[in-house]
Structures are given as structure tokens and as C-alpha cells.
Amino acid sequence: MDEKEQVRRAALYILQSGLVKGTWGNVSLLSGGKVYITPSGVPYDELEAQDIAVVDLESGDQIEGRQRASSELPMHLQIYRDHKAIRAIVHVHSIYATAFACMRKPIPCYVEDQAMILGGSVQVAEYALPGTWELAKNASKALGDRFAVLLSNHGAVAVGRSMKEALVAAQILEKSAQIAYLVGKNGKLLEENDIQYLRKVYIDSYSRKLEE
């Protein structure tokens, strides 16, 4: 499957799964120094491969696509430039993750799949207006070595070494937020050494099927 089709299908998936509403959110894939990203303002169920914008990672210039790249392009570029292993980014506005983003509270790590796939608790980026380089830098910094980050009063970002992995991370992010909300202060957090062990198991072996 080519890059544009991967992005188109991923965008349709996040719409159908309820991770976004309307045309909010965005999806991108990095391949060969080019960022393939959803366009601005086009309904995901109407997207065609030709609508996917192609942007040069180094210059930030759009070099392909009949539609303008998402307004959140700076955030995608910044994350790819700062985190060399990342190859896909999914920006969602899922309900529970966004609720934590609005409270500006990290999502604690209660469950093993969160430890494995996201890398532990999910941190919150400092607030900045959408589409700005300030937001891009804040998001990339708060992401750290995790596979998800919350955007204050905005939404969330999940990443991966493949589109498949980024989509799984987006699902686990929302599930983790729901669990954290439901257990409140009554939950028992995973120990940090157990989180690190589970993450290593995932990165070293369990995740191989999601890397392609």
C-alpha cells in the first residue's frame, strides 16, 4: 500500500472509530524524507489519494497534493525532526484524552498495555495556539520518549514507527484515559521499574508486527 493510501485509510479509521469528529484531527506518515499529511478542511470520508499533501521534511515546503496541508503541519514536522524513530503521527480529539488535556493533568499509568505501547504516563504539553510553531515545540518536548502526548485544552497526539503502531497507540491512549478517569484516586499505579520492563519487552520483541 502506498503512502497516500495509508494516510487516507488511517484518517477514515480515526473518524469511524470516534477518535475525531468532523474534519478535526490529522494524520501523517514520513517516508523518504517526505511527510504525507491529511489536507486542511476536507471530510475524511471524502478524501482521495490526490488530496493528501506531500511536504519536504527539511524545508517544510509542500511539493505535492491538490489540497493544502493540515494547519497542524508544524507539529508534525517538529516531531519528525526531533524524534528520528517516529514514522507516523495521529492527532486526535478523543473524549477522555481531551478531558485530561483540558484539566492539564497527565494520564497516570495503571495498565500494562499503556506501559508497553505508550511507555508509561502521558504528559501534557504547555498551552499554545493551534497551528503554531510554539505548539509544535511544546508538543515535541512533552512527548519525550513516549508514544503519546496531551495538548493542553486541545486534544492528543499518538505516534509510532509505522502507521499501524500509531493507530494502536491512539486507541490505547483513549482507553488509558478512560480507565484513569474511572478509577480516579482509587487505582494502584504500576511501579516504575515494571513500566520500564514492560516497555522494553514491547520494543524489543512484542511490537515487531506493528513496525511494518
Three-class SS of residue 138?
A: helix
Give me the percent of the chain exceeding a pLDDT of 70: 97
| 22: confidence class by pLDDT, cuts 50, 70, 90 | confident
Residues contacting 14, CB < 8 A, separation 6+: 20, 25, 27, 44, 90, 92, 167, 170
Task: Evaluate if pTM is beyond 0.85.
Answer: yes
Q: Catalytic residue, from 3, 72, 165, 174: name it.
A: 72
18 Rama sector, left if φ>0, alpha if ψ -120 to 50, beta otherwise = left
C-alpha cell recorded at residue 154: 486541545
Q: What pLDDT is stored for residue 207 in this prediction?
A: 66
Specify the number of domains making up the chain.
1
Q: Mind listing the pLDDT tens digit for each residue in 145-202?
A: 999 999 999 999 999 999 999 999 999 999 999 999 999 889 899 999 999 999 999 9
> Is-catalytic flag, 64?
no
Q: What is the pLDDT of residues 194-208, one digit of tens each?
A: 999 999 999 988 666
Please report, for the domain that includes residue 186, its CATH number: 3.40.225.10
Structural domain span for residue 71: 3-210
